[in-house]
Structure 1
Amino acid sequence: MTRPTSSETPDLGDLVMRVARTLRRRGAEAMAPWEIAPHHARALKVISRHEGLRLGELAAHLRVAPRSVTDVVDALESRGLLAREPDPGDRRATVLVLTASGRQLMQEIGQARRADADTYFARLSATDRADLERILRTLDTAG
Protein backbone atom coordinates (compact mmCIF):
# COMPACT_ATOMS: atom_id res chain seq x y z
CA MET A 1 0.00 0.00 0.00
CA THR A 2 1.42 3.38 -0.96
CA ARG A 3 1.09 6.48 1.14
CA PRO A 4 -0.85 9.34 -0.40
CA THR A 5 1.18 12.26 -1.64
CA SER A 6 0.63 15.63 -0.06
CA SER A 7 -1.62 16.61 -2.97
CA GLU A 8 -3.85 13.58 -2.19
CA THR A 9 -3.99 14.21 1.55
CA PRO A 10 -7.29 15.90 2.39
CA ASP A 11 -7.02 19.38 3.80
CA LEU A 12 -8.94 20.59 6.84
CA GLY A 13 -11.90 21.79 4.77
CA ASP A 14 -12.14 18.43 3.02
CA LEU A 15 -12.06 16.60 6.33
CA VAL A 16 -14.79 18.79 7.79
CA MET A 17 -16.95 18.18 4.71
CA ARG A 18 -16.39 14.42 4.94
CA VAL A 19 -17.45 14.39 8.58
CA ALA A 20 -20.46 16.60 7.77
CA ARG A 21 -21.54 14.22 4.99
CA THR A 22 -21.14 11.26 7.32
CA LEU A 23 -23.21 12.96 10.01
CA ARG A 24 -25.87 13.94 7.46
CA ARG A 25 -26.07 10.32 6.20
CA ARG A 26 -26.20 8.92 9.72
CA GLY A 27 -28.84 11.48 10.68
CA ALA A 28 -31.01 10.45 7.74
CA GLU A 29 -30.61 6.82 8.76
CA ALA A 30 -31.55 7.66 12.35
CA MET A 31 -34.76 9.32 11.09
CA ALA A 32 -35.71 6.42 8.80
CA PRO A 33 -38.12 4.76 11.28
CA TRP A 34 -40.31 7.88 11.14
CA GLU A 35 -40.24 8.02 7.33
CA ILE A 36 -39.39 11.69 7.28
CA ALA A 37 -37.01 13.34 4.85
CA PRO A 38 -34.14 15.38 6.31
CA HIS A 39 -35.42 18.60 4.71
CA HIS A 40 -38.82 18.03 6.33
CA ALA A 41 -37.15 17.48 9.69
CA ARG A 42 -35.14 20.70 9.23
CA ALA A 43 -38.36 22.63 8.58
CA LEU A 44 -39.98 21.17 11.68
CA LYS A 45 -36.91 22.04 13.74
CA VAL A 46 -37.00 25.66 12.58
CA ILE A 47 -40.72 25.93 13.29
CA SER A 48 -40.25 24.40 16.75
CA ARG A 49 -37.62 27.04 17.54
CA HIS A 50 -39.54 29.95 15.99
CA GLU A 51 -43.17 28.97 16.31
CA GLY A 52 -45.51 31.34 14.52
CA LEU A 53 -43.37 31.88 11.41
CA ARG A 54 -44.87 32.83 8.09
CA LEU A 55 -43.95 30.77 5.02
CA GLY A 56 -41.51 33.41 3.77
CA GLU A 57 -39.76 33.54 7.12
CA LEU A 58 -39.41 29.75 7.14
CA ALA A 59 -37.94 29.92 3.64
CA ALA A 60 -35.42 32.52 4.82
CA HIS A 61 -34.38 30.34 7.79
CA LEU A 62 -33.97 27.34 5.49
CA ARG A 63 -32.24 29.47 2.83
CA VAL A 64 -34.57 28.29 0.07
CA ALA A 65 -36.93 30.06 -2.30
CA PRO A 66 -40.38 30.73 -0.78
CA ARG A 67 -42.07 28.66 -3.51
CA SER A 68 -39.91 25.66 -2.49
CA VAL A 69 -41.07 25.75 1.11
CA THR A 70 -44.75 25.49 0.16
CA ASP A 71 -44.39 21.84 -0.89
CA VAL A 72 -42.57 21.04 2.36
CA VAL A 73 -45.25 22.72 4.48
CA ASP A 74 -48.04 21.02 2.49
CA ALA A 75 -46.44 17.60 3.07
CA LEU A 76 -45.95 18.21 6.80
CA GLU A 77 -49.47 19.57 7.17
CA SER A 78 -50.93 16.53 5.38
CA ARG A 79 -49.15 14.30 7.93
CA GLY A 80 -50.68 16.29 10.78
CA LEU A 81 -47.29 17.56 12.00
CA LEU A 82 -47.93 21.26 11.60
CA ALA A 83 -50.85 23.59 11.03
CA ARG A 84 -51.41 26.91 9.37
CA GLU A 85 -53.17 29.33 11.69
CA PRO A 86 -54.28 32.95 11.27
CA ASP A 87 -51.54 35.44 12.12
CA PRO A 88 -52.72 37.25 15.24
CA GLY A 89 -51.17 40.47 13.94
CA ASP A 90 -52.60 40.22 10.41
CA ARG A 91 -55.65 38.05 9.83
CA ARG A 92 -54.93 37.99 6.07
CA ALA A 93 -51.71 36.05 6.71
CA THR A 94 -51.07 32.64 8.21
CA VAL A 95 -48.37 31.37 10.56
CA LEU A 96 -46.99 27.89 11.06
CA VAL A 97 -47.28 26.03 14.35
CA LEU A 98 -46.41 22.46 15.31
CA THR A 99 -49.21 20.13 16.28
CA ALA A 100 -48.89 17.85 19.30
CA SER A 101 -47.87 15.09 16.87
CA GLY A 102 -45.22 17.37 15.38
CA ARG A 103 -43.79 18.20 18.80
CA GLN A 104 -43.73 14.51 19.74
CA LEU A 105 -42.00 13.61 16.48
CA MET A 106 -39.37 16.31 17.03
CA GLN A 107 -38.63 14.93 20.51
CA GLU A 108 -38.28 11.37 19.23
CA ILE A 109 -36.11 12.33 16.26
CA GLY A 110 -33.99 14.58 18.44
CA GLN A 111 -33.35 11.75 20.89
CA ALA A 112 -32.44 9.34 18.08
CA ARG A 113 -30.07 11.81 16.43
CA ARG A 114 -28.39 12.73 19.72
CA ALA A 115 -27.89 9.05 20.55
CA ASP A 116 -26.37 8.45 17.13
CA ALA A 117 -24.09 11.49 17.45
CA ASP A 118 -23.01 10.31 20.90
CA THR A 119 -22.07 6.94 19.37
CA TYR A 120 -20.23 8.59 16.48
CA PHE A 121 -18.23 10.95 18.70
CA ALA A 122 -17.57 8.33 21.41
CA ARG A 123 -14.26 7.48 19.72
CA LEU A 124 -13.01 10.88 20.94
CA SER A 125 -11.97 11.50 24.50
CA ALA A 126 -14.15 13.79 26.60
CA THR A 127 -11.48 16.47 26.30
CA ASP A 128 -11.34 16.14 22.51
CA ARG A 129 -15.15 16.32 22.27
CA ALA A 130 -15.18 19.47 24.42
CA ASP A 131 -12.39 21.02 22.32
CA LEU A 132 -14.18 20.11 19.07
CA GLU A 133 -17.44 21.60 20.33
CA ARG A 134 -15.67 24.80 21.41
CA ILE A 135 -13.90 25.11 18.05
CA LEU A 136 -17.04 24.45 16.02
CA ARG A 137 -19.05 26.95 18.08
CA THR A 138 -16.34 29.56 17.46
CA LEU A 139 -16.42 28.91 13.72
CA ASP A 140 -20.20 28.83 13.65
CA THR A 141 -20.54 32.22 15.34
CA ALA A 142 -17.89 33.71 13.07
CA GLY A 143 -20.12 32.91 10.08
Structure 2
Amino acid sequence: MATNEQVARVGAVVGELHRLLRRRTGARVGRDPLPEAQVELLLLVRETPGISGKEVARRLCTAPNTVSTLVRDLTDAGLLARDRDPGDRRVLRLRVTEAARARMADYETNRAALLDEALAELDPAARAAILAAAPHLDALLGALRGHVRPAPGNPVAVAPARPA
Protein backbone atom coordinates (compact mmCIF):
# COMPACT_ATOMS: atom_id res chain seq x y z
CA MET A 1 0.00 0.00 0.00
CA ALA A 2 1.27 3.47 -0.85
CA THR A 3 2.02 5.92 1.92
CA ASN A 4 0.22 9.25 2.20
CA GLU A 5 3.47 10.97 1.25
CA GLN A 6 3.85 8.88 -1.92
CA VAL A 7 0.25 9.55 -2.94
CA ALA A 8 0.63 13.27 -2.22
CA ARG A 9 3.84 13.34 -4.27
CA VAL A 10 2.15 11.73 -7.28
CA GLY A 11 -0.67 14.29 -7.09
CA ALA A 12 1.77 17.18 -6.77
CA VAL A 13 3.97 16.00 -9.65
CA VAL A 14 1.02 15.32 -11.98
CA GLY A 15 -0.48 18.73 -11.17
CA GLU A 16 2.79 20.59 -11.72
CA LEU A 17 3.47 18.64 -14.92
CA HIS A 18 0.04 19.66 -16.23
CA ARG A 19 0.54 23.34 -15.34
CA LEU A 20 4.06 23.49 -16.77
CA LEU A 21 3.05 21.74 -19.99
CA ARG A 22 0.17 24.22 -20.44
CA ARG A 23 2.44 27.22 -19.97
CA ARG A 24 5.34 25.93 -22.06
CA THR A 25 3.15 24.63 -24.87
CA GLY A 26 1.28 27.93 -24.95
CA ALA A 27 4.59 29.78 -25.26
CA ARG A 28 5.72 27.38 -27.97
CA VAL A 29 2.61 27.93 -30.11
CA GLY A 30 2.78 31.68 -29.51
CA ARG A 31 -0.47 32.21 -27.65
CA ASP A 32 -1.80 31.84 -24.15
CA PRO A 33 -3.63 28.58 -23.51
CA LEU A 34 -7.40 28.77 -23.28
CA PRO A 35 -8.85 28.76 -19.77
CA GLU A 36 -9.19 25.25 -18.33
CA ALA A 37 -13.00 25.37 -18.37
CA GLN A 38 -13.01 26.19 -22.09
CA VAL A 39 -10.52 23.41 -22.81
CA GLU A 40 -12.62 20.89 -20.89
CA LEU A 41 -15.71 21.91 -22.83
CA LEU A 42 -13.94 21.71 -26.20
CA LEU A 43 -12.48 18.30 -25.40
CA LEU A 44 -15.89 16.99 -24.37
CA VAL A 45 -17.59 18.38 -27.48
CA ARG A 46 -14.81 17.02 -29.71
CA GLU A 47 -15.31 13.54 -28.28
CA THR A 48 -19.13 13.88 -28.24
CA PRO A 49 -20.19 15.93 -31.29
CA GLY A 50 -23.79 17.09 -31.12
CA ILE A 51 -23.91 17.09 -27.33
CA SER A 52 -26.40 19.53 -25.80
CA GLY A 53 -25.48 22.31 -23.41
CA LYS A 54 -27.55 20.62 -20.71
CA GLU A 55 -25.58 17.40 -21.14
CA VAL A 56 -22.29 19.34 -21.08
CA ALA A 57 -23.31 20.86 -17.74
CA ARG A 58 -24.18 17.44 -16.37
CA ARG A 59 -21.00 15.76 -17.62
CA LEU A 60 -18.71 18.56 -16.42
CA CYS A 61 -20.62 18.93 -13.14
CA THR A 62 -21.08 22.64 -13.66
CA ALA A 63 -23.99 25.07 -13.66
CA PRO A 64 -25.95 25.49 -16.90
CA ASN A 65 -25.40 29.27 -16.85
CA THR A 66 -21.64 28.68 -16.66
CA VAL A 67 -21.86 26.40 -19.70
CA SER A 68 -23.91 29.06 -21.52
CA THR A 69 -21.17 31.63 -20.88
CA LEU A 70 -18.44 29.23 -22.03
CA VAL A 71 -20.41 28.31 -25.16
CA ARG A 72 -20.98 31.97 -25.98
CA ASP A 73 -17.31 32.84 -25.52
CA LEU A 74 -16.10 29.87 -27.58
CA THR A 75 -18.67 30.60 -30.29
CA ASP A 76 -17.58 34.24 -30.41
CA ALA A 77 -13.97 33.04 -30.74
CA GLY A 78 -14.93 30.83 -33.69
CA LEU A 79 -14.05 27.61 -31.87
CA LEU A 80 -17.53 26.23 -31.27
CA ALA A 81 -20.67 26.03 -33.40
CA ARG A 82 -24.26 25.70 -32.21
CA ASP A 83 -26.91 23.97 -34.29
CA ARG A 84 -30.61 23.62 -33.52
CA ASP A 85 -31.71 20.06 -32.87
CA PRO A 86 -34.05 19.16 -35.75
CA GLY A 87 -36.22 17.10 -33.39
CA ASP A 88 -36.51 19.80 -30.72
CA ARG A 89 -35.76 23.34 -31.89
CA ARG A 90 -35.31 24.47 -28.27
CA VAL A 91 -32.19 22.34 -27.93
CA LEU A 92 -28.81 23.50 -29.22
CA ARG A 93 -26.31 20.88 -30.34
CA LEU A 94 -22.63 21.72 -30.07
CA ARG A 95 -19.70 20.88 -32.32
CA VAL A 96 -16.13 22.09 -32.56
CA THR A 97 -15.24 24.12 -35.63
CA GLU A 98 -12.41 23.42 -38.03
CA ALA A 99 -10.55 26.33 -36.42
CA ALA A 100 -10.85 24.58 -33.05
CA ARG A 101 -9.73 21.26 -34.52
CA ALA A 102 -6.67 22.93 -36.05
CA ARG A 103 -5.84 24.80 -32.85
CA MET A 104 -6.24 21.67 -30.73
CA ALA A 105 -4.12 19.59 -33.15
CA ASP A 106 -1.40 22.26 -33.18
CA TYR A 107 -1.40 22.40 -29.39
CA GLU A 108 -1.32 18.60 -29.05
CA THR A 109 1.51 18.26 -31.60
CA ASN A 110 3.59 20.91 -29.84
CA ARG A 111 2.88 19.42 -26.40
CA ALA A 112 4.05 16.01 -27.65
CA ALA A 113 7.21 17.55 -29.11
CA LEU A 114 7.91 19.35 -25.84
CA LEU A 115 7.48 16.11 -23.90
CA ASP A 116 9.67 14.25 -26.37
CA GLU A 117 12.44 16.84 -25.95
CA ALA A 118 12.22 16.65 -22.16
CA LEU A 119 12.19 12.84 -22.18
CA ALA A 120 15.32 12.86 -24.37
CA GLU A 121 17.17 14.66 -21.55
CA LEU A 122 16.52 11.80 -19.13
CA ASP A 123 18.59 8.66 -18.78
CA PRO A 124 17.24 5.70 -20.78
CA ALA A 125 15.95 3.84 -17.71
CA ALA A 126 13.97 6.84 -16.45
CA ARG A 127 12.59 7.51 -19.93
CA ALA A 128 11.52 3.87 -20.29
CA ALA A 129 9.89 3.86 -16.85
CA ILE A 130 7.91 7.01 -17.59
CA LEU A 131 6.74 5.71 -20.96
CA ALA A 132 5.84 2.34 -19.42
CA ALA A 133 3.72 4.14 -16.81
CA ALA A 134 1.31 5.58 -19.43
CA PRO A 135 -1.11 2.60 -19.40
CA HIS A 136 -1.12 2.69 -15.59
CA LEU A 137 -1.87 6.41 -15.61
CA ASP A 138 -4.75 5.68 -17.99
CA ALA A 139 -6.02 3.09 -15.51
CA LEU A 140 -5.70 5.67 -12.72
CA LEU A 141 -7.78 8.11 -14.77
CA GLY A 142 -10.43 5.43 -15.16
CA ALA A 143 -10.42 4.72 -11.45
CA LEU A 144 -10.73 8.41 -10.61
CA ARG A 145 -13.57 8.87 -13.07
CA GLY A 146 -15.41 5.99 -11.44
CA HIS A 147 -14.92 7.26 -7.90
CA VAL A 148 -16.05 10.86 -8.13
CA ARG A 149 -18.42 11.46 -5.24
CA PRO A 150 -19.92 14.57 -3.66
CA ALA A 151 -18.22 15.75 -0.51
CA PRO A 152 -19.98 14.73 2.72
CA GLY A 153 -22.81 17.15 3.39
CA ASN A 154 -22.72 18.45 -0.19
CA PRO A 155 -25.80 17.16 -2.04
CA VAL A 156 -24.52 18.21 -5.49
CA ALA A 157 -25.26 15.45 -7.95
CA VAL A 158 -22.16 14.15 -9.66
CA ALA A 159 -22.36 13.06 -13.26
CA PRO A 160 -21.44 9.55 -14.30
CA ALA A 161 -17.83 9.12 -15.32
CA ARG A 162 -16.76 10.23 -18.78
CA PRO A 163 -15.50 7.46 -21.00
CA ALA A 164 -11.75 7.01 -21.08
TM over 0.5: yes
For 2:106, the equivalent position in structure 1 comes to 108
Are the structure 2 counterparts of residues 89 and 112 from structure 1 closer, same or farther at C-alpha, using a change threshold of 3 Å? farther
Corresponding letter in the other structure for 2:127: S
Report the TM-score, using the length of structure 1 for normalisation: 0.79
The CA distance in 2 between the partners of 1:119 and 1:22, in whole Å, is 18
Q: Distance in 1 between matches of 2:113 and 2:36?
A: 17
Measured after TM superposition, the shift of residue 45 of structure 1 is 1.3
Report matched runs for 1:21-100 at 5 Å: 21-29=15-23, 30-32=25-27, 33-35=30-32, 36-100=34-98
Unmatched tracts of structure 2, length 5 or more? 147-164
Counterpart Cα distance in 2 of 1:83 and 1:93? 13
Q: Is 1:15–2:9 an aligned residue pair?
A: yes
* Aligned-partner Cα distance in 1 for 2:56–2:116: 29
Q: CA RMSD in A?
A: 2.2
Preserved contact between residue 44 and residue 98 of structure 1 (Cα < 8 Å): yes
Quote the Cα distance in structure 1 between the aligned partners of 2:67 and 2:116: 31
Amino acid at match of 1:31: G
Partner of 1:140: 141
29-38 or 91-100, larger mean C-alpha shift: 29-38
Q: Does structure 2 conserve the Cα–Cα contact (< 8 Å) formed by 1:28 and 1:37?
A: no
Looking at structure 2, the residues matched to 20 and 100 of structure 1 have their Cα atoms a distance apart, in angstroms, of: 30
Offset at residue 63 of structure 1 (A): 2.5
* TM-score, length-scaled by structure 2: 0.70
Cα distance change on mapping 1:97 and 1:59 into 2, 3 Å: same
Structure 1 unaligned residues grouped into runs of 5+? 1-8
Closer, same or farther: CA 31–87 of 1 in aligned 2, 3 Å: farther
- Count of residue pairs brought into register by the alignment: 134
Which shifted more, 51-60 or 107-116?
Answer: 107-116
